[in-house]
Amino acid sequence: MALTINNLSKTYPNGVKALKNLSFSIGNSMFGLVGPNGAGKSSLMRTIATLQDPDSGTITLDGIDVLRQKDEVRRILGYLPQEFGVYPKISALDMLRHLAVMKGMTSAGERKEMVEAILQQTNLWDVRKKALSTFSGGMKQRFGIAQALLGNPRLIIVDEPTAGLDPAERNRFLNLLSSLGSDRTVILSTHIVDDVRQLCPRMAIIASGELLLEGAPNDTLAALNGKIWSKVVATDDEVRTIEAQLKVISTHLVGGRHEIRVHSDVSPGDGFRSVDSGLEDVYFLNLSQQSERPN
């Protein structure tokens, strides 16, 4: 399966330019879409999911014109939006049965078999008869994936799925996503860079509606080998002094002190040490380079 996005643009009535001539392709695997809040990720996901039209551009999915053949796309699509509503007093089992009917599964036997298999796959079988209002955040996200899997979709879109989850629930959810990405296209939209590093053979970084980078995480990391330098300082004044002199891509608090990470082809000296690059370095470097470009 191949999803191809070409010159996609979207400006909302309030003047916000959510997408600016985006072009890239996604193959049959897990694909990570990374960017800060407000980057345009959700706008792109809603457009691919046929929930809104762009101002210009095209999207094709295995020969299907996504913008014109919406019913064909919806038959092979599973979608977990950033926020999704359910009837809180209905059980997971009854809700999935209801949604299966809405997805056109007319055979009672087929519905029963699929719903029960999905509940097992998402580790919700033991709580299938409990009201959705009693579910934890992680359980609700797993239910979100369960409803997205109805109909055995070939394309699955998940938008910010691990936001707000505790570490244990996040790991369970990522393991579930990983199992899904082996035989279909899964687009993971997130601002959590580590999720992409764990799961995705390919990724794209977008910000302010623009594509900043597209490629394999390992390749982007290799390009930064020997170019990331770190130093820990104690005061805000020291941070500001270094920011005025060097290309600082990020700062982190470590034990109450500031770890400064700098991008440089050669050693900045003055206590900096070479460190292994991480996907967050790729992310922050691309964001800083975008901010430096003239508008």
pLDDT of residue 66: 95
- Give the model's confidence band at 237: pLDDT under 50 very low, under 70 low, under 90 confident, else very high: very high
State the average pLDDT over residues 95-117.
91
Q: In sequence order, which ranges of the chain are alpha helices (DSSP H)?
A: 41-48, 70-75, 92-102, 108-121, 137-149, 167-180, 193-199, 217-222, 236-245, 279-292
**% of the chain with per-residue pLDDT over 70:** 98
> CA 45, CA 73: separation in Å to the nearest integer?
13
- CB-based contact 153:144 (threshold 8 Å): no
> CA 96, CA 128: separation in Å to the nearest integer?
10
pLDDT of residue 272: 94
Say which range, 44-53, 100-109, 117-126, 127-136, has the weakest mean pLDDT.
100-109
Map residue 38 onto helix, strand or coil. Answer: coil
> CA 173, CA 146: separation in Å to the nearest integer?
11
> CA 137, CA 173: separation in Å to the nearest integer?
11
Q: Is the pLDDT of residue 208 over 70?
A: yes
- Give the model's confidence band at 93: pLDDT under 50 very low, under 70 low, under 90 confident, else very high: very high
Kindly give the interhelix angle for 92-102 and 137-149, rounded to the nearest 10 degrees.
30
- Give the model's confidence band at 65: pLDDT under 50 very low, under 70 low, under 90 confident, else very high: very high
pLDDT of residue 240: 93
pLDDT of residue 295: 60
The encoded tokens of residue 26 equal 């996604």
State the average pLDDT over residues 99-115.
90
Q: CA dihedral in degrees (123, 127, 131, 137; nearest 10)?
A: -40
Q: Where are the domains of the chain?
A: 3-220, 226-276
The encoded tokens of residue 63 equal 């020969």
State the average pLDDT over residues 2-18.
94
- CB-based contact 7:27 (threshold 8 Å): no
Say which range, 23-37, 126-140, 181-195, 248-262, has the weakest mean pLDDT.
181-195
**% of the chain with per-residue pLDDT over 90:** 60
CATH number, domain 3-220, options 3.90.190.20, 3.30.110.30, 3.40.50.300, 3.40.50.11540: 3.40.50.300
pLDDT of residue 191: 83
- CB-based contact 92:132 (threshold 8 Å): yes
- Give the model's confidence band at 102: pLDDT under 50 very low, under 70 low, under 90 confident, else very high: confident
Distance of CA 116 to the CA centre of its chain: 27
pLDDT of residue 294: 65
pLDDT in tens, 245-295: 999 999 999 888 999 999 999 999 889 999 999 989 999 898 888 877 666
Average per-residue pLDDT in the chain? 90
pLDDT of residue 37: 85
pLDDT of residue 84: 75
Q: Is the pLDDT of residue 128 over 80?
A: yes
* SS percent in the chain: helix, strand, coil, step 5: 35, 30, 35
